[in-house]
Amino acid sequence: MVNRYLNVIPLDDALALLSREFTCIPSAENIPLETASGRITARPIFGSYSVPEIHLAAMDGIAVRSVETKGASEQSPVTLLMAARVNTGNVIPPGYDAVIMIEDVWETDGNYTIRRSASPWQHVRPAGEDLAESEMVMPSLHCIRPHETGALATYGITRPEVITVRIGLIPTGSELVEAGVRPAPGQVVESNTIMAGAMLESAGARCTRYSFVEDSPDKIRTALKKGCGENDIVIISAGSSAGTKDYTAAVIAELGEVLVHGIATKPGKPTIIGRVDGKPVFGLPGYPLSALTVIRELVLPFLRNYGLPVPEPETIPAHITSAYPKEIGSDEFVLCTLGKIGNRWIISSQSRGSGVQMSAVRANSYLRVPRASEGFNAGDLVDACLMVPEKEAENALLLTGSHDPLLDHLADLSRPSGISIISTHVGSMGGILSLKKDECHAAPTHLLSPDGSYNTAYLHKYLPGIETGLIFVAGRQQGIVSRENLSLEELPGHLFVNRQKGSGTRMLLDFELKKAGIDPTVIPGYEREVTTHIAVALAVKSGEAEAGMCVYSAAKALGLPFVPVVEEHYELAFRGDHTDDPRLKSLFGVIRSEPFAKVLTRLGGYDPTRTGSLRWVD
Amino acid sequence: MVNRYLNVIPLDDALALLSREFTCIPSAENIPLETASGRITARPIFGSYSVPEIHLAAMDGIAVRSVETKGASEQSPVTLLMAARVNTGNVIPPGYDAVIMIEDVWETDGNYTIRRSASPWQHVRPAGEDLAESEMVMPSLHCIRPHETGALATYGITRPEVITVRIGLIPTGSELVEAGVRPAPGQVVESNTIMAGAMLESAGARCTRYSFVEDSPDKIRTALKKGCGENDIVIISAGSSAGTKDYTAAVIAELGEVLVHGIATKPGKPTIIGRVDGKPVFGLPGYPLSALTVIRELVLPFLRNYGLPVPEPETIPAHITSAYPKEIGSDEFVLCTLGKIGNRWIISSQSRGSGVQMSAVRANSYLRVPRASEGFNAGDLVDACLMVPEKEAENALLLTGSHDPLLDHLADLSRPSGISIISTHVGSMGGILSLKKDECHAAPTHLLSPDGSYNTAYLHKYLPGIETGLIFVAGRQQGIVSRENLSLEELPGHLFVNRQKGSGTRMLLDFELKKAGIDPTVIPGYEREVTTHIAVALAVKSGEAEAGMCVYSAAKALGLPFVPVVEEHYELAFRGDHTDDPRLKSLFGVIRSEPFAKVLTRLGGYDPTRTGSLRWVD
């Protein structure tokens, strides 16, 4: 096996090399005050005039010379020779040095009488009280906070000068189509530079996204020259591997030099760092999660060298639910879901391919596993890096177990109460085992016992002595999805797509086939496993399989024929000691709500008769 | 004394009333994906097609039928009958179900030979691997994170529908001028709606700032009607008190109803809550810090009712340096400076008027003092609400003591190392006492002893037995600032502005007057105290006083004549046990730097000969 990369180095070394090789001077730009929040001053800002410039009344009343008021009291009121009516904010006339509140003044025929003396400068806003001419308002490299825009307006600063880093983003690839165009087979929506742009701009960079460039060295060369002329940094998206159409490294080498080709991270290995016209040029891997990782772990930290404030992620110690073994040598970055069960934080990795952008949508956290580490054992305490505010992570409700399309709708209907439902599809048995380990808030489950009862026997068996509850979500129809209206009895000889072992649907199918006297080995593809009802229906729709078993709503969503096999009970199991968990209570409220009843009707194949009823198992 | 407000209620009651009286339904708008980061989805987003829509190669290699590869090994290679060359991302032709990496393939005359069998679906990205048609991408009320814009692009979502709250901001007041215009005496730059707009937009609201409205009930009425027609919420800035030109409440009452006039907060009392056309209308107080408080404590929390995510401030327990006594009855909000001395967080209130916007620029934290509280004693542990990230607060360097204009420049030059200098001007003696209590990192000081030495005698006396260090900042000229070149001897009979007792400059002046045989009581205004050199010079420039004592650079900055009296030593005192504090070390580096030497020359009146030299006192 050939080493496809010229020069693979650890991430830390790549960051050190960037600091060593490049003098990072930010660009500066003057921007409208209304857009200045979160931006970083390029220079110190000094007051060019005092605020206020002249003494002002701080109260409604009369301006007086305090010496004239001496000795005034209830017993010996003083009628003033010199006094001027002022409202708050009015200029104090020259020679006057105090204001008496209007409530303390008696006026007769234009004369003012007072019964208390005034101290010099009382109720006066002296010139420069807020800011004196020549004083500094804020230093350079200060992050302008929203409320400070008001102060800057007052001090006459309407277009503050702030720093930025101009970053050119060049998408390459002949297969690309613009977002909004449905890609034909083999085409791909260009999304990596959109993502990179949003991530880099949130740190204060100013990104320019260039037109798509075909896989042609000449065209990439032209684009790179232009990008280097117009920016402080250039990022070329895709073409950074060492395949036949990967021209990025060659073009950078031609116009300048390649400093690094390959960084020892997973994902993100096919990354290039080069220099053209003295400017850093990055080659970004094409897989979205690789690109995400390289932007987050390499480019964003590098922007700190320019003075942009890139916060470190907040971390929380959490127990990892499954072992995460790894080989020494690469830093690995794992997208995860995190939630709080009782007082323990629980984290689970989402071990999926780097083309699965949904992993980054579902994730609320990630793990950094250092290159010297051999990974984690199940239960280890690890540092979860947060991708959402901690409060949002606390409001995560972990549902682990059987999949059903209505879980998406439960998640949506729970949002108004602030709950973020995170569903993990490990099948009913997986859910029961997660509940046993107290690693989820509730487990969706539909496990049939030989006596015809659902779920209770399994809770008795796997959580003996632990009080648990079951809330009924819906009765639901399971059946055969196909393109040709196949029934259970017609499955032999047809290419099948199955659910994973331990899922209630797989157990149900095994049970029903046995009842019907059908040997699974005569069903081709029986060993091909996917983890959701929708994935089964989609495999059938795409032609990957001829039939599978799923719930009615999944077949309906994809417009496929469905032959019912059985109606079963889909319930949520939870531990009795979490009954008062406000997240669970909120979910129960949603299950019992009118909007959820409407969802059941709309999706189809659900029986709402017992929806929301609760029973206890002990 | 008249109660100027109709109906003063506690803040909590005002928030409860808002929740009770108004059904808060956000507006929705479709926005470009590039601007969607941080916005909140108005509706759940479902996949309208699968990604990928068809099976794709996940590697460069050949697509095969896995059954054909059975039995292949080093000993018995298999030459395939059906195989197709594919690159990563290519469509897998129908009938093929696996990909073999090109490194594992031997090609001869267009025929492919393999030495290992392929398992079904290996190196294939199945249709729907990322997202299956009909699956939910994200629920409603989901905060779109920057990296998710990439996923949305991939799924064909180019203009996501997000919620917002349309807020109309109406500035009122005949004295207003637009930012960028230098206000004539009695005029004010309108800044409150700029500040409110930035604060509210940072929470996801969409603000419209209307033209200035004069203090006229008719014009305010017209503006309010228009604002209510075009927005979900209207905020009228200023005119919310009960003075002669405060028409806001009357106009709201005429068009709808006033629900609250006056909330029991300091600052922020003159606040109105009303209803017009069923919509909430706020009357915002005119003083900037009052307006800031009402936006932060009343309007922003209310926006949560519309589904906008308004984070609670993070809090840190900190020791308060001075007593903060208060009467029961109002919630008070106090802008503060916060820093970490050793392992203790130390917080100080900035007790200044609500017109001083610089207080909110200088503050990195604030205190909420509940209405039932009688305040705090010095040293109490209080909850500091952070206005900056915690890390930035940790990098605050507290300098407490004598003022000098060059402190601004030290603050600016320290920014590249991430240090935020917070100077508090309490005079040299105040600084020594703060150092004694270990409540600052360093104390700028210039205290002359009768033996002609500076600072050491005071450190011996007030910090006995504690090792301290002194770093020399600069020699500096003190003298008399005036408009007419007055000397110390000419002060009697001229209106004076003084520095506060305990400041080194005041002690120096007292000493020099005594030496010159001048009785301070023959100098009018000797009791008028300000706290900075610039404030002294400004009082002279504005005509408030005829003369004062300050450093040369302050007189120069304001272009005033200066007659030298003495050159003195301006040093920073610090405790020996903080010598290794990285913030202090960084400051010492700045003091010894070339850019600081240039600042000393530019400002004028400083002798850099001993700048940066260090001595120990024990």
Blockwise average pLDDT, block size 10, chain A, 618 residues: 62 98 96 95 95 90 92 92 89 91 89 91 90 95 97 97 98 95 93 98 96 96 98 93 81 96 95 97 96 98 95 96 94 97 95 83 97 96 97 97 95 96 94 97 95 94 96 97 96 94 92 95 92 92 92 94 96 96 97 97 96 94
Q: Do B129 and A356 touch (CB under 8 A)?
A: yes
The pLDDT of residue B417 is above 60: yes
Amino acid occupying residue A7:
N
Give residue-wise pLDDT tens across range A341-377: 999 999 999 866 777 999 999 999 999 999 999 999 9
Closest Cβ–Cβ partner in B34, B89, B132 for A175: B89
Residue A393 to chain B, least CA–CA distance (Å): 13
The rounded distance, in Å, linking the Cα atoms of A384 and A367 is 6
The pLDDT of residue B3 is above 50: no
B296: closest chain A residue by CA: A147
Query: Quick one: angle between helices A217-230 and A248-255, nearest 10?
Result: 60
Q: Do A140 and B415 touch (CB under 8 A)?
A: yes
Give residue-wise pLDDT tens across range B568-587: 999 999 999 999 999 999 99
Chain A residues touching residue B154 (CB < 8 angstroms): 179, 189, 191, 288, 357
Q: Which pLDDT does position A502 carry in this prediction?
A: 86
Q: Do A408 and B33 touch (CB under 8 A)?
A: no
The closest alpha carbon to B368, from B324, B408, B398, belongs to B324
Question: Can you name the residues that pair with B575 across neighbouring β-strands?
Answer: B468
Residue A86 to chain B, least CA–CA distance (Å): 11
The rounded distance, in Å, linking the Cα atoms of A429 and A432 is 5
Question: Can you name the residues that pair with A337 across neighbouring β-strands?
Answer: A348
Burial of A62 (0-12, 13-18, 19+ CB in 10 A): buried
Q: Which pLDDT does position A95 carry in this prediction?
A: 85
**CA A247-A182-A407 angle, 5° bins:** 110
Q: Which pLDDT does position B2 carry in this prediction?
A: 37
Could you tell me the strand order of the sheet in which A83-86 lies?
A: A83-86, A61-64, A98-101
The rounded distance, in Å, linking the Cα atoms of A324 and A326 is 7
Enumerate residues 6+ apart whose C-beta is below 8 A from B329: B264, B371
Q: Which residue has the tokens 């987050």?
A: A296
The 8 Å CB, 24+ separation contacts for B75-84 are B77/B106, B77/B113, B77/B114, B77/B115, B78/B113, B78/B114, B78/B117, B79/B111, B79/B112, B79/B113, B80/B111, B80/B112, B80/B113, B80/B114, B83/B112
Q: Do A147 and B50 touch (CB under 8 A)?
A: no
User: What is the enclosing helix (H) or strand (E) of B281?
Assistant: strand B279-284
Give residue-wise pLDDT tens across range A459-475: 999 999 999 999 999 99
Q: Which pLDDT does position B354 carry in this prediction?
A: 74
Residue A433 to chain B, least CA–CA distance (Å): 26
Burial of A211 (0-12, 13-18, 19+ CB in 10 A): exposed
Q: Do B198 and A34 touch (CB under 8 A)?
A: yes
The rounded distance, in Å, linking the Cα atoms of B382 and B336 is 12
Q: CB of B74 within 8 Å of any CB in chain A?
A: no
The pLDDT of residue B7 is above 80: no
Q: What is the pTM of this model?
A: 0.90
Q: Which pLDDT does position A3 carry in this prediction?
A: 39
Average pLDDT over residues B368-388: 97
In this structure, is the dihedral angle defined by the CA atoms of residues A275, A279, A280 and A283, taken in order, positive or negative? negative
Average pLDDT over residues B224-247: 90
Q: Do B532 and A132 touch (CB under 8 A)?
A: yes
Which two three-digit tokens encode residue A260? 């690094």
Q: What is the DSSP letter of B299?
A: I
pLDDT band at B120 (very low <50, low <70, confident <90, very high): confident
* Partner B, chain A 34-63, Cβ-Cβ below 8 Å: 34, 36-38, 44, 46, 49-51, 53-56, 58, 60
Q: Which pLDDT does position B1 carry in this prediction?
A: 29
The rounded distance, in Å, linking the Cα atoms of A593 and A409 is 12
Closest Cβ–Cβ partner in A94, A151, A190 for B360: A151
Q: Which pLDDT does position B542 carry in this prediction?
A: 86
Q: Which pLDDT does position B392 carry in this prediction?
A: 94
Closest Cβ–Cβ partner in A121, A194, A360 for B528: A121
Q: Do B391 and A54 touch (CB under 8 A)?
A: no
Q: Which pLDDT does position B5 carry in this prediction?
A: 59
Residue B118 to chain A, least CA–CA distance (Å): 14
* Partner A, chain B 565-594, Cβ-Cβ below 8 Å: none
Q: CB of A19 within 8 Å of any CB in chain B?
A: no
Residue B467 to chain A, least CA–CA distance (Å): 32
Q: Which pLDDT does position A1 carry in this prediction?
A: 30
pLDDT band at B352 (very low <50, low <70, confident <90, very high): low
CA trace torsion B611, B616, B617, B618 (10° rounding)? 170
